[in-house]
Amino acid sequence: MAELKITKSNFESEVLNSDKPVLVDFWATWCGPCRMLGPVISEIAEERADIKVGKVNVDEEQDLASQFGIMSIPFVAVFKEGKIVKSSVGFQPKEDILALLN
């Protein structure tokens, strides 16, 4: 499944009320490490049917970024039952992102 575009309007339904864990990538187009991480996030979205994968463009969704105190990107968070249970900042290899889901 392709990653979802997460916005303020769908955040509650897609992330907070999800019955599956949700991997959310907070990113921006101007961010070099974000562009490096993008294909990794896309691969995970295609390979893992047991989770949702979403992307939040912090320039377009500044309210969401400030709600979660995002100061550095890329910021990847795993949400379960509406709460962040694990997160990482900066580019991480695929195996490290997958480890967040365990």
In this predicted model, what pLDDT tens digit does every residue of 18-46 receive, in sequence order?
Answer: 999 999 999 999 999 999 999 999 999 99
Instruction: Spell out the SS3 assignment of the chain.
Output: CCCEECCCCCHHHHHHCCCCCEEEEEECCCCHHHHHHHHHHHHHHHHCCCCEEEEEECCCCHHHHHHCCCCCCCEEEEEECCEEEEEEECCCCHHHHHHHCC
Tell me the per-residue pLDDT of 58-95, one tens digit each, with 9 for 90 and over. Answer: 999 999 999 999 999 999 999 999 999 999 999 999 99
Which residues are designated catalytic?
Answer: 31, 34
29 φ, ψ to 5°? -65, -30
Global pTM reads: 0.95
